Amino acid sequence: MNKELMEALDILEKEKEISKETLFDAIETSLLTACKNHFGKADNVKVEINRETCDFLVYAEKEVVPTEDDVEDDVLQIALEDAREISKRAEVGDVIHVEIKSKEFGRIATQNAKNVILQKIREEERSAIFNQYYEKEKDVVTGVVQRYVGRNISINLGKADALLNESEQVKGEVFRPTERIKVYILEVKNTPKGPRILVSRTHPELVKRLFEAEVTEIRDGTVEIRSIAREAGSRTKMAVWSNNPNVDAVGACVGMNGARVNAIVDELRGEKIDIVNWDENPGNLIQNALSPAKIVAVFADPDEKTAKVVVPDYQLSLAIGKEGQNARLAARLTGYKIDIKSETQAKDAPGFRYEDYLDDFEDEEYEEDYDGYEEESYEEEGQPEEGYDELPSDAQELFGEEEPAGEFPAEDGEPLGNEEIPEGDFAEAPEEE
């Protein structure tokens, strides 16, 4: 019996990750509970289990009194004559251990102990699973699709099931049972029925964690993801920064022939990803965030977190994006409320002086919740930025002539360098000279 118990504890420790010491404590507690149920009261009853042999000893602590006539409670006291049969050194006033044979518990007591042990094992198993996944909260894990529960999806994470609620699913994504997917752990709750794990496929941190896993330079701290904005299933914009001047942050994230970004795009089922350089200068950052559109000038107000942007007429629809998406994501990425005007619209502003320019922009404001603009069809001709020299000199000085950072279409993940493409089109990476 003891050998079988030890083998069972070994298996539980290995498969359930519950320590033997915890199990021994549970068994001792359960046997003590059985004693209390059997004897009615057992405040003086103790249980000890040998950790090496699994032999257990159940005993009562009893006070030694002079004679049988002095015994007022035989559960708590023992006569000296009887005590010396247990220990020859016993003296009046001593407390000695009187062994209680396990057979005295009877069948009911044994079953009670078994039930308590099983309950304790289940509790410890739930606790171990909770602790394991609680440590992974706000991280990405791989799971296997099990089944649809209404509009929600049950995902098996190995030792526990997670729930992918409808609100955290990407519109249009359909999964088959047994399919392996990556999910972001939103929250791990401890409940009486076990840990409740909520996961997401729409959270921006999912993209960030995927890049951390894929890009060595991000893991070792050479490259940082400073900001990320996402419309799940459609497009993500991400601003990156290199702590090493010899390492190109955007290039590191894209990888050789787009290998790194392609792996993430595949996991996200074709979601487009724009990777741009972070810049401490708000004007430059906004210019980068609005890529692939060319920018003529940016007037940023760091105090109010607002920015007014001038783009060439032929670039207006590209800067705004389909249904305002490009401008909306740029606003989230930078934290600025962005107002975009074409050069013609800017010149039509009364007086068109620099001081007036900041006050006279009233239309086409694009905040994070803007969704009212339909992108026009557009074909890039590569023409120069006409009208640039006609802007106020202050505006020209505010913005350098750097090209916007490259865009990475989700379908092929190839870096496009400084070339521009219409929204939704695909292009090959420019050949190196």
Does 233 fall in a domain? yes
The residue with greater pLDDT, 378 or 236, is: 236
Does 246 fall in a domain? yes
Q: Are residues 122 and 37 in the same domain?
A: yes
Q: Are residues 38 and 94 in the same domain?
A: yes
- What band does 305 get if pLDDT is binned at 50, 70 and 90? very high
Does 410 fall in a domain? no
The last residue of one of the domains, among 153, 171, 200, is: 200
pLDDT tens profile 153-174: 999 999 899 999 999 999 989 9
Q: Where residue 155 sits, what CATH number does that domain have?
A: 2.40.50.140
Report pLDDT for 109. Answer: 56
Using the predicted structure, report yes or no on whether residue 41 has a pLDDT greater than 70: no
Using the predicted structure, report yes or no on whether residue 399 has a pLDDT greater than 70: no
Structure tokens, 410: 């989700």
CA-based nearest residue to 212, from 224, 227, 200: 224
Q: Are residues 112 and 146 in the same domain?
A: no
The last residue of one of the domains, among 102, 133, 164, is: 133
Using the predicted structure, report yes or no on whether residue 362 has a pLDDT greater than 60: no
Domain hosting residue 301, numbered range: 205-398
Q: Are residues 141 and 250 in the same domain?
A: no
Averaged pLDDT, 42-50: 78
Q: Are residues 102 and 149 in the same domain?
A: no
Using the predicted structure, report yes or no on whether residue 274 has a pLDDT greater than 90: yes
The residue with greater pLDDT, 51 or 224, is: 224
Q: Are residues 209 and 194 in the same domain?
A: no
Does 85 fall in a domain? yes
Q: Are residues 166 and 249 in the same domain?
A: no
- What band does 203 get if pLDDT is binned at 50, 70 and 90? very high
Does 369 fall in a domain? yes
Query: Where does residue 134 rank: exposed (0-12), middle (13-18), buried (19+ CB within 10 A)?
Result: middle
Using the predicted structure, report yes or no on whether residue 392 has a pLDDT greater than 80: no
Averaged pLDDT, 406-427: 33
The percentage of residues in the chain with a pLDDT greater than 70, rounded to a whole number, is 76
Q: Are residues 196 and 209 in the same domain?
A: no
Q: What is the DSSP string of 247-278?
A: S-HHHHHH-GGGHHHHHHHHHTTS-EEEEEE-
Q: Are residues 102 and 122 in the same domain?
A: yes
Show the DSSP H helices in 170-248 as ranges.
204-214, 216-219
Report pLDDT for 140. Answer: 95
Q: Of 10-14, 95-99, 146-150, where does mean pLDDT reach its minimum?
A: 10-14
Query: Where does residue 272 rank: exposed (0-12), middle (13-18), buried (19+ CB within 10 A)?
Result: buried
Q: Are residues 240 and 347 in the same domain?
A: yes
Q: Are residues 192 and 249 in the same domain?
A: no
Q: Are residues 267 and 394 in the same domain?
A: yes
